Structure 1
Amino acid sequence: MEKFINFISDNTEAPFLIDSPSVDVKISGVKYAMEVGLKRRIVYNSIIPESEPKELEAIKEAGVENVIVLAYKGGAITSKDRIKAVMEFLPRVEEAGIVKPIIDTYVFDIPSLSLATKA
């Protein structure tokens, strides 16, 4: 992760996403980005309503402000369900110190595209 963060920071001033299937890898990426002074440029990708408390605690401890909140929750298929899932999750998002949540309504497959745009 450090290699990629260094490459990005050396080649652009733009914000960038820190993403991985592994929470531990994302958190280590966040910690490194903070150490090298890139706090304002990172966007953590992503958390879901079912995210573990340890992930939210690590985000809070690191002081990450920009986080993508994915409107994905098992069984939340309709736009109404996705909105409900995010609305119920927002208090935990705020408790984690996330001041700039970016809501991603997620598209699972082509048939779900219309549901995501409604959410």
Structure 2
Amino acid sequence: LLSSSTIISWHQDGAFAVTDSIHHVAINNNNNNNSKSTKSKVLYHYVIAQCFCTTQDEQVPLIASDDAADAAWHSLEEIRKRVEAGQTTPGVLHVIEKAQSLYNAGFLSTTTTTTTT
């Protein structure tokens, strides 16, 4: 959530990309030969819709909602460092770079609004 009166611009046509994150858990099976084989089953499957927006104020404080433990603004360089440190998945960097390329090429037009919380 944005924590104050904020001017944001967003891509009004909806998500520009959709990805998923599938998490497995290993299960052990005994077959007829009494040898163990390891299989897995899906524990969680998240479908993630990536949306695009910009803000004119880079210092707007964010508040994590019920779907996140924390929320923060990061520069592209900070995200690269977080990926290298194992703090952020590489897919996040890929999505941001894709959004930036689409925006720079004029494929992600935006509509401006003011939010108040």
Give the TM-score normalised by the residue count of structure 2: 0.23
Q: Which has the larger radius of gyration?
A: 2
Report which of the two has the higher share of helix.
1
Report which of the two has the higher share of strand.
2
Give the TM-score normalised by the residue count of structure 1: 0.23
Structure with higher RCO (Cα < 8 A, 6+ apart): 2
